[in-house]
Amino acid sequence: MKNNFIHIVCIVALSFSCNSNDDTSDASGSFEAVETIIAAEATGKLLSFTISEGEQLNAGQLVGAVDSTQLYLTRMQLVQNKKAILSGRPDTKAQIESLKKELANAIDDRNRVANLVKGGVASQKQLDDADAKVSILQARINSQSSALGTTTSALNEQAGSTEIQLAQVEDQLRKCKLVNPISGVVLTKYAEQNELTSIGKPLYKIADLSTMILRAYVSGNQLAQLKLNQKVTVSTDDGNGGLKATEGAVIWISDKAEFTPKTIQTKDERANLVYAIKVSVKNDGTYKIGMYGEVKL
């Protein structure tokens, strides 16, 4: 009877021991997200900037504006300068038209003289003079066209230079509008409305928390069991003394070993060197940056 009791106790103990080993995680670490610091692209007073920490922002959402009065005035000045330059372009057609009429009349005169020379009424010198007048008028037209074309090109170049300056100012004006570049949650706010800001000054930090990354560490013995895109089980405390299990995927495996972080425990506690891995997990709102998690391969 005593031997049977001892046998039963051993079986129960072995059963609990097996269950305990099955629940042991293979790696552990903390959750993180890709954090992006959004900085100002213009200098001036923050006329509006009303976002708050914890707020969900969409990509392309307008979140504020920097004072752009001086840039707007500069743009107006450049627009007027461009108009003034272009108004100075000569009317080539009108200025050449009168010379073309003179040329047409000179050609008619030259043809009449040529007919008279054939009839013996006019002399060869008169024909030569008529030919010379036609040549002179043609040369004047060519010269005038070239000069007017050069003047027009020079003014067009000046207008083009002003157009480039306009484009630069308009780009600066666009940057005075604070447009959120990515969807995510505001983690930290660094500036307030009515404060002065400058190019490159951080305004807020944002992160997309829809997908979290668990950075964990495995020993060299476990490395052979891992591969990219491998499905694993990620477990966290559910707040009621139990565990919440979610499927994740291995998205990165370090190719270099490092010393075991003090706050990280691996399955093999005797391992001095470990390899970092990243596991991507869909977030239903449960996971927070810095939260502890475990990985089961």
**DSSP of 200-247:** T-EEEEEE--SEEEEEEEEEHHHHTT--TT-EEEEEEE-SSSSEEEEE
Helix (H) or strand (E) holding 196: strand 196-197
CB atoms within 10 A of CB 33: 20
How much is the pLDDT for 142?
87
Q: Are 49 and 63 spatial neighbours (Cβ–Cβ below 8 Å)?
A: yes
Q: What 3-state class would DSSP assign to 63? A: strand
Q: Which long-range contacts (CB under 8 A, 24 or more apart) does 171-175 make?
A: 172/42, 172/68, 172/71, 173/68, 173/71, 173/72, 173/75, 175/41, 175/42, 175/66
Q: What residue type is 156 in one-letter code?
A: N
Cα–Cα distance for residue pair 169/166, rounded to 1 Å: 5
Q: What residue type is 34 in one-letter code?
A: V
Cα–Cα distance for residue pair 81/162, rounded to 1 Å: 7
Q: What residue type is 149 in one-letter code?
A: G
Per the DSSP assignment, residues forming a β-bridge with 64 are: 49, 178
Cα–Cα distance for residue pair 292/214, rounded to 1 Å: 9
Name residue, tokens 């020379």. Answer: 117
How much is the pLDDT for 127?
84
Q: Are 67 and 47 spatial neighbours (Cβ–Cβ below 8 Å)?
A: yes
What architecture (CATH level 2) is domain 25-36+208-296? Beta Barrel (2.40)
How much is the pLDDT for 262?
56
CATH class of the domain defined by 38-66+177-204? mainly beta
Sequence spans of domains, the chain: 25-36+208-296, 38-66+177-204, 70-175
Q: Are 197 and 40 spatial neighbours (Cβ–Cβ below 8 Å)?
A: yes
DSSP summary character for residue 259: E
Cα–Cα distance for residue pair 174/165, rounded to 1 Å: 14
Quick one: which of 280, 64, 12 has its CA closest to 193?
Answer: 64
Dihedral pair phi/psi, residue 107, rounded to 5°: -65, -40
Name residue, tokens 């213009």. Answer: 42
Q: Are 293 and 265 spatial neighbours (Cβ–Cβ below 8 Å)?
A: no
Q: What 3-state class would DSSP assign to 27? A: strand
pLDDT in tens for each of the 297 residues of the chain? 444 443 333 333 333 333 434 457 889 999 999 999 999 999 999 999 999 999 999 999 999 999 999 999 999 999 999 999 988 888 878 778 888 888 888 898 888 888 888 877 788 888 888 889 889 888 888 888 888 888 888 988 999 999 999 999 999 999 999 999 999 999 999 999 999 999 999 999 999 999 999 999 998 888 888 999 999 999 999 888 889 999 999 999 998 888 766 555 555 554 568 899 999 999 998 999 999 999 998
Model-level pTM? 0.70
The length of the chain, given as a count of residues: 297
Q: Are 33 and 279 spatial neighbours (Cβ–Cβ below 8 Å)?
A: no
Cα–Cα distance for residue pair 272/260, rounded to 1 Å: 6
